[in-house]
Amino acid sequence: MSHNEEGSNVATHCVIPKPRGNQAQHMQYIILALFVIFLYFYQPSPYHTAQGVIIHFTALQIGALIKGICNLAEEMLHVTSRYHGSYLKAFSACLGLHQHGLTLLLCGAAYVLLFKTEFPKETDLRLNLIIVCFCQLLSINFGLQRPSLAEISEICEKNNLYVAHGLAWSYYIGYLKVILPRLKDLINDFNKSNNYLLNSKKTWKLHILIPLSCEVYDDLQKVDNRIQFIDNLPEVKMDRAGIKKRSYKNSVYGVMDEEQKMNYCVMEYATPLQSLYAMSQDESAAFSRLDRLEQAKLFCRTLEEILQRSKDCSGCYQLIVYEDSGESNKHFLSKAILQCIRQENEEEYTISERDRGFVPSQNFPCETQLLISDSDEPQPLMSLGH
């Protein structure tokens, strides 16, 4: 089985945000083309159009440089701690001369070429330019040019600046990358001493519970009495970060279905969600419930992307993303886990048929569906579409 087929056992539902695309840039091109068409018909003289464009574009660049100078006044106080004592780095970080400086020089050259003839008065030109620059400064001081929340979110996501990115990478590097490559061997050793309790190899995965509420419980049986702790897998001991023989272990649970039949799997919560929940409860973190929800979704997406790129972890994990049902369905979690196990067993049957020469479909389950809590029936964790 290819890495994509094994590793695509999770994906995002519509509530989990996908990475942003290029629609904003495409819309910019469309609006720009519309304005060019409008200027062509409204102002038949290209010369006068160029004059207006140069004046306003020059004002924009001057405004950006003045804003950079204001920022530089603050950054000069932090040159040693933030820029390793380099004034050039601080200067470049605030003013961006490689971008705004070059553009301003081009505007100045065009200014000389275009306005040396056919302009009413030099004083009118200077006054017009000063007024436009003054308006730009007022816009900056009133905060009208600050990036929108969507722009800030895009910048943080593309540069991996959110807390969710750090938590996902820490969870992978410090834990999953240690456990998952050894998981199937540990399950095999566990089975030998426990009468092959985990009898289906397609369920030989670490089932990671990701509640979007970030409410993580220490005892799963208190959340759903159909979930019972069975035993722990053999421990993994290794020297790590100065800790001699640090211990890693995972737990095996039994999940009872409606027919009182017990289904077994290795399962646990994604522990970094505890940090997100604790941050939302601490006033000093300034982390709201909506921030927590956004970061939980981003954590899920980032973790999925990391694991899908990891060859060592391929086929060894299953993310179960869900919303807490509260009191409306006390067996909601067990139904979610059972649906996941059934999907895995059905996938095993399909693959075995394909190996015998019968290929019913080329589509493998690849999308995790968010479970809707107001339904008494278990919802599918995956769909058969790409």
CB burial of residue 347 (10 Å; 0-12, 13-18, 19+) = middle
Return the pLDDT at 361.
33
Per-position DSSP letters for 310-361, written without gaps between them: -STTTTSEEEEEE---TTS-TTHHHHHHHHHHHHHHHHHHHHHHHHTT--S-
For 61, the token pair is 């660049």
Residue 74, phi then psi, degrees to nearest 5 = -80, -45
Q: Is the pLDDT of residue 211 over 70?
A: yes
Q: Which amino acid is it at 349?
A: Y
Return the pLDDT at 364.
33
Strand 382-383, strand 367-368: pairing:
antiparallel
How many CB atoms sit inside 10 A of residue 351's CB?
13
State the Cα–Cα distance between residues 302 and 270, nearest whole angstrom. 13
How many CB atoms sit inside 10 A of residue 91's CB?
18
For 161-383, CATH number out of 3.40.50.2300, 3.40.250.10, 3.40.190.10, 3.40.50.12100 equals 3.40.50.12100
Q: Is the pLDDT of residue 374 over 50?
A: no
| Least confident window among 35-44, 277-286, 289-298 | 35-44
Q: Which residue has the higher pLDDT, 7 or 145?
A: 145
How many CB atoms sit inside 10 A of residue 269's CB?
18
Q: Is 45 helix (H, G, I), strand (E, B) or coil?
A: coil
Average pLDDT, the chain: 77
Q: Sorting pLDDT into bands at 50, 70 and 90, what band is 250?
A: very high
State the Cα–Cα distance between residues 96 and 252, nearest whole angstrom. 56
pTM: 0.68
Residue 308, phi then psi, degrees to nearest 5 = -65, -30
| Residue 242 and residue 230 in contact, taking contact as beta carbons nearer than 8 Å | no
